[in-house]
């Protein structure tokens, strides 16, 4: 089955080409951006060989709608300045789950309730945990 966000789609090929950073470097930078803005329970998951539409997930929790907005805006601004290009962003802070898609790195920003509900860590348990910051 072809995943709708497969790397083969033209927009993802363009996004990957625009990014001047290696995927692991971008993922680690995003972790540091989120840590600076006081995100909670930051997780960096290596999904290479497990997932066909991305290499890394970064998961983080924000304690309020305002914090989710701040995490997303700061991450977008800093990653763009570092050469990652503009991510595709889905979801709204009020929904409790925002996704920032850089093609090779996908960032999930959750409210505590949505993170507990969706349990992406369990869904992608075959991935390797590279970093976890509580």
CATH code where residue 97 lies:
3.30.460.10
pTM (2 d.p.): 0.87
In the chain, the number of structural domains is: 1
Q: Please give the residue range of the domain that contains residue 105.
A: 10-133
pLDDT at 100 (0 to 100): 97
Query: Is residue 15 in some structural domain?
Result: yes
Query: Is residue 5 in some structural domain?
Result: no
Characterize the bridge pairing of strands 40-46 and 56-61: antiparallel
pLDDT at 19 (0 to 100): 65
pLDDT at 2 (0 to 100): 39
Q: What is the mean pLDDT of each run of 10 residues along the chain (134 residues)?
A: 47 57 94 98 97 96 97 96 91 96 96 97 96 93
pLDDT at 12 (0 to 100): 52
pLDDT at 18 (0 to 100): 60
Distance CA 132, CA 121 (A): 11
């Amino acid at each position: 089955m072809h995943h709708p966000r497969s790397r083969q789609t033209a927009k993802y090929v363009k996004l990957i080409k625009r990014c001047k950073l290696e995927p692991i470097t971008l993922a680690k930078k995003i972790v540091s951006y989120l840590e600076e803005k006081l995100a909670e329970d930051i997780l960096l998951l290596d999904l290479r060989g497990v997932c066909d539409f991305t290499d890394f997930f970064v998961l983080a929790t924000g304690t309020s709608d305002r914090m989710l907005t701040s995490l997303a805006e700061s991450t977008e601004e800093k990653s763009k300045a570092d050469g990652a290009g503009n991510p595709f962003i889905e979801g709204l802070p009020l929904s409790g789950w925002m996704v920032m898609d850089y093609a090779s790195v996908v960032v999930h920003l959750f409210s505590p309730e949505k993170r507990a509900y969706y349990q992406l860590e369990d869904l992608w348990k075959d991935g390797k945990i590279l970093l976890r910051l509580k």
